[in-house]
Amino acid sequence: MNDADVYGQLKQYLGKHITVSDEQLALFCSKFKHKKTKRGEILLRADEIAPYSYFVNNGCLRVYMMDAEGRESTRFLIFENSVGTAFPSFTLQEPSMAYIQSVEPSEILYITHKDFNGLLDTFPGWERVYRIDLEREYIASIRRIESLITMDAKQKYNLLMSKNPALIQRLPSRIIADYLGISQETLSRLKSKK
């Protein structure tokens, strides 16, 4: 796969909100490295400082917590054509409470914290794209909080079905149930009713 293919989606992502020249795009992309991951590969462990933010070309990354008994809780999923990381750790450069795992074999781009902030200072329009993305992510996290504090299992499942039905086919039931904060038994009961 040549560079154009590897960076094509990132360029589209950037071009959604701002107009930039090909030279600027090439400079922007040069800050991102390319990597293929295996199913289940761990990209970050808790207590490490998240060194990278990721752009997913294809596949899916999962940000999750693990308690003292080894029980996992999925905090966040990063899909194709979006940017994400263990956000508090990456942004504040402090030890992460979360792990990052490649749920599927994935193809990703990654950028260091230093280069990410460098682009905010030097690349025209990047702060705007990032700000709009932050608004979107913040809204998603507010919706998540709303569903956690007010919805029952059926409402949570129906919301996910309406927003992201492919997910329910694609990811293991264990991860879906955990993401929704419901039991696997409840999830399979809800699925069978559809």
Question: Which positions lie near a second copy, rule CB under 8 A?
Answer: 65, 67, 73, 75-76, 87-88, 91-92, 97-98, 120, 127-128, 130-131, 134-135, 137-139, 141-146, 148-150, 181
Number of C-beta neighbours around residue 87 at 10 A: 19
Residue 36 or 144 with smaller CB distance to a second copy: 144
Q: Which residue has the tokens 């997910």?
A: 167
Let me know: does 193 contact 186? Beta carbons within 8 Å.
Answer: no
Alpha-carbon span 71 to 66, nearest angstrom: 5
Let me know: does 106 contact 60? Beta carbons within 8 Å.
Answer: yes
Let me know: does 100 contact 86? Beta carbons within 8 Å.
Answer: yes
Among 104, 106, 95, which residue's Cα sits nearest to residue 56? 106
Residue 26 or 134 with smaller CB distance to a second copy: 134
Shortest separation between residue 87's beta carbon and a second copy, angstroms: 6
Residue 26 or 92 with smaller CB distance to a second copy: 92
Shortest separation between residue 170's beta carbon and a second copy, angstroms: 21
Shortest separation between residue 138's beta carbon and a second copy, angstroms: 4
Shortest separation between residue 58's beta carbon and a second copy, angstroms: 25
